[in-house]
A and B are shown apart, each in its own frame.
Chain A
Amino acid sequence: ELKVEQNPLFLSMQEGKNYTIYCNYSTTSDRLYWYRQDPGKSLESLFVLLSNGAVKQEGRLMASLDTKARLSTLHITAAVHDLSATYFCAVGPLDSNYQLIWGAGTKLIIKP
C-alpha cells in the first residue's frame, strides 16, 4: 500500500530565506503532483512530475523528483510573504491510473 509522508508539517520562516519541503513515498510510482492551498480556498496545481530527474520551476518554487529514492522536493528560494500557504504532494500508485495518495500537507508561514 502506497504511503506518502511530507515533512515538515509546519514551517515558519523569514522572507528572503531558502527552504525545502520533502515528500517521501513508500512504493514505486510514475507520477507526482504538488498543489498549493490558501486558507479557506481550494487546491491549485503547481507541478506535475512524471519521470526520474524531472525538475520544474515556477518563480521562486522549484520541484524535483528522484524516483529511485522515492523522494520529491519543493524548494523555495528567497521566500516572500505571498508564498504562505499549505503545500500538498500527491502520488499516483502504479496499480491505478487515477487514484492519488495525498500527503498531510506542509503549512508554510512566511514572516515579513
Chain B
Amino acid sequence: GAGVSQSPSNKVTEKGKDVELRCDPISGHTALYWYRQSLGQGLEFLIYFQGNSAPDKSGLPSDRFSAERTGGSVSTLTIQRTQQEDSAVYLCASSWTSGSFEQYFGPGTRLTVT
C-alpha cells in the first residue's frame, strides 16, 4: 500500500515568508508525528496528533510554528515569518496508534530559507 507522502519535497523561501508543508499519512494510521532534522543531526520532535485528541505541541520551537490535522488524516505544518535557522528537513511519520508501534516516515521536505 501507499506509504507516508509529503509535499513539497523541496522548498526554497525568502526570510520572512510563510510556508506550508503537507503530510499524507498511511491510511488507517491514527497517530501522526512531525520532526525536524538539521544537517547531520538526529530528529527533533515537533508535534504529535492522535485521533481526535488534542495534539501535543510541546516540541514546537516558537509560536511561528503551527500544525493542524484535518479529518484525522492529512496534516499541515505552517511556519510563519521564516528565519534562516528554520532551514532543515521536516519529516512526517505515522503509526497505527501510539505505544510500541513503529513509526513509518515520509520522504521529508527540505526547507531552505535564504
Contact = CB atoms under 8 A, between A and B. Distances in A.
Do chains A and B stick together as partners? yes
Interface of A: 30-31, 33, 35, 41-45, 48, 50, 88, 90, 92, 97-100, 102-105
* 6 interchain residue pairs of minimum CB distance: A98-B98, A102-B42, A102-B43, A43-B105, A42-B105, A45-B102
A92 B48 CA distance: 14
Contacts of B33: 98
Given A33-B103, A88-B42, 5 more contacts: A42-B107, A43-B93, A48-B100, A98-B98, A102-B43
B87 interface: no
Given A42-B91, A103-B42, A97 B106 contact: no
A33 B50 CA distance: 20
Contacts of A48: 100, 102
28 contacts: A30-B100, A31-B99, A31-B100, A33-B103, A42-B105, A43-B43, A43-B91, A43-B93, A43-B105, A44-B105, A45-B102, A45-B103, A45-B104, A50-B100, A90-B43, A98-B56, A99-B45, A99-B48, A99-B56, A100-B43, A100-B45, A100-B103, A102-B44, A103-B42, A104-B42, A105-B40, A105-B41, A105-B42
Contacts, number: 51
Chain A at the B interface: SS class: strand
A102 B42 CA distance: 6
